[in-house]
Amino acid sequence: MTRWYNAPLQLHRRWKQSKLHLNKRQIDNGRYSILDQIGQGASGIVHLAVATKTNKKFAIKEMNKSRLQRRYHQSQLINNRKPLYPESKKRKLEDVVELQIEEIEILKQLPAHLNIIRFIEVIDNDPDNEDSIFIVTEIAENGIIMDVTPHAVTKPLSEGQCREIFSQLVDAVEHLHLNHIVHRDIKPQNLVMSNNNTVKLIDFGNATCITADTLSSTSSSVGSPAFMAPELLKREHNVSPTCADLWSMGVTLYCIVYGHLPFEKASLMDLYSDIQNKA
């Protein structure tokens, strides 16, 4: 199974097509009730939930704290990074969780934009779910724009649809970059559409703020492998922090125009080699 091509997050095509069943599980002392699971990936599970007081629906991404810690240490090994805390072989769970929350807090302070999913809140201290972090966002009723599967062809979108979707994606990414944020995981599965056909960029689990101190972190290999820029895979120096987003935007456009990935190989190493040598 080549799930790693599009990891970390996979949303169902359209959440409203799934069978809703009222789960008795509640979040944050009953403020939210879980209705259904609408997505799943390496970074967590996405639930359709309802606010109990207003009956308004939201998307809630649930991330397991222990799994976040394991993924963090795996990424350090993959990127050959030195430990941030040399005196400790493993970064404490609280530090990893705090790092995740800090990234989300950055995005909560981002000026609102029509084409970026609206963040509502982060819930980290739920007494009934102590090992989970919950990220509450608005819901995009029509689901993802396209489900791209490795070694398979999906029905391409029309030229008009591609033009409209990509135009809105450009607006979203321009807004991020003007506010010194890079997404680092742009792909069709991270673009959802609302009822009025507004495209919204989602899943900011790999996003980071561009500062003098964090430029090196933006050139590390994070995100979905099939959408990674060759400059990052080659570990070139003095690479623009925004190159990851610009490259993955191009791959995303290719996918919605042709219905399949531009680079597909049986192994991760062969995939990386193909991207570096044929790009």
Segment 220-238 mean pLDDT: 82
Report yes or no: 64 and 132 within 8 Å, Cβ to Cβ.
yes
Q: How many CA atoms lie less than 13 Å away from 212 in the CB half-sphere?
A: 0
For the four alpha carbons of 159, 161, 167 and 169, in that order, the dihedral sign comes to negative
Report residue 233 CA to chain centroid gap. Answer: 19
What residue ranges define each of the domains in the chain, with the CATH number in brackets?
3-278 (1.10.510.10)
Question: What are the start-end ranges of the E strands in the chain?
Answer: 9-11, 26-27, 32-41, 44-51, 57-64, 119-123, 132-137, 181-182, 191-193, 199-201, 208-209
Indicate the burial class of 149 (C-beta count within 10 angstroms; 0-12, 13-18, 19 or more).
Answer: middle
Residue 99, pLDDT above cutoff 90: no
pLDDT digits (tens, 9 = 90+) for 186-203: 999 999 999 999 999 998
Is 61 within any annotated ligand binding site? yes
Q: Which residues are catalytically annotated?
A: 185
Segment 16-32 mean pLDDT: 67
* Band of residue 8 on the pLDDT scale cut at 50, 70, 90: very low
Record the pTM: 0.80
Cα–Cα distance between 230 and 228 in angstroms, integer? 7
Other C-beta atoms lying within 10 Å of the C-beta of residue 7: 17
Cα–Cα distance between 170 and 114 in angstroms, integer? 12
Cα–Cα distance between 122 and 14 in angstroms, integer? 24
Report yes or no: 12 and 192 within 8 Å, Cβ to Cβ.
no
Residue 17, pLDDT above cutoff 60: no
Most confident of the following: 44-48, 54-58, 240-244:
54-58
Residue 51, pLDDT above cutoff 50: yes
Q: What's the angle, vertex CA 22, arms to CA 3 and CA 137, rounded to 5?
A: 60
Cα–Cα distance between 62 and 132 in angstroms, integer? 6
